[in-house]
Amino acid sequence: MKKILVLCTGNSCRSQLAEGFLRHFGNKKDIQVYSAGIETHGLNPMAVQTMEEIGIDISGHTSNHLDEYADIDFDFVITVCDNAKESCPYFPTKAQKFHQNFPDPAKAKGTEEEVKNEFRKVRELIKVYALDFLKKIETHP
């Protein structure tokens, strides 16, 4: 069983979207997916709505602090924002680290539709990354 941690600043948007995609697309693989933040900002309702639009339910996700997973021996740690990468603690495990900085849709400004479109744009970027990541780890021992 491969254990994956997706890490971002507040565990409210980007890491939640990534966790949702990795679980959805990796559901037949031998993986466990977790997400956390170096802070906890709560699950962003717009992230839930954006995933719901494409049939993925993340409404049951919780915003978790990294410390909650201190005892888990992760195989992979994915940071999805530069702040998390810079603040990411040393994991005393064999965890292989990956990093991809995604824009923070929670910081989007404008009309409601413009904000929704920013969430959708980031969702699609994360979807492509998640699919690519799952292909990469299929060949990982």
Q: What are phi and psi of 99, to 5 degrees?
A: -140, 135
Q: Please give the average per-residue pLDDT across 113-122, as a whole number.
A: 98
pLDDT number for residue 92: 54
Q: How many residues would you count in the chain? A: 141
CA–CA gap between residue 96 and residue 29 (Å, rounded): 18
Q: Does an H or E element contain 7, and which?
A: strand 2-8
Q: What are phi and psi of 80, to 5 degrees?
A: -115, 10
DSSP count for the chain of H helices, then E strands = 4, 4
Catalytic residues: 8, 81, 88
**Strands, DSSP E only, in 13-112?**
31-37, 76-79, 96-99
Tell me the Ramachandran region of residue 96: left when phi exceeds 0, alpha when psi lies from -120 to 50, beta otherwise.
Answer: beta
The reply to whether the predicted model has a pTM over 0.95 is no
Q: Which of 12, 13, 25 is nearest to 118 (CA)?
A: 13
Domains detected in the chain:
2-138 (3.40.50.2300)
CA–CA gap between residue 34 and residue 69 (Å, rounded): 9
Q: Tens of pLDDT along 28-83?
A: 778 999 999 988 999 999 999 999 999 999 999 999 998 899 889 999 999 998 77
